[in-house]
Amino acid sequence: MNMKFDYGDEVVFRTKDDAGSEADKSCSVVGITPIEREEQAEYFKRPVGSVLYTVEFGDGSDALVSESDLLPAKSE
């Protein structure tokens, strides 16, 4: 399975608020969940072959997000 990000990668989580405005949040990849079986696909409501990432934000909170919601962090 080809994954776009790896453990420890700095990424940007792109979200949309209720008004449709986009907001970017910096975070790090702390977990990777490839969707390999139909049972997982049904549970996570994602197709087989997709990847979910657990990301951790600067405040210590975390979230399970789709690969399509993440962007590479800009290096300075």
For each of the chain's 76 residues, which pLDDT tens digit applies?
Answer: 678 999 999 999 987 766 666 678 999 999 999 999 999 999 999 999 999 999 999 999 999 999 989 999 986 5
Global pTM?
A: 0.84
Please state which of the four CATH numbers 3.30.70, 3.30.750, 2.30.30, 3.40.30 is assigned to the domain occupying 10-71.
Answer: 2.30.30
Q: Residue 26: enclosing H or E segment and its boundaries?
A: strand 22-34
Can you tell me the distance from the alpha carbon of 30 to that of 7, in angstroms, rounded to the nearest whole number? 6
What token pair was written down for 63? 């979230």
Can you tell me the distance from the alpha carbon of 4 to that of 31, in angstroms, rounded to the nearest whole number? 13
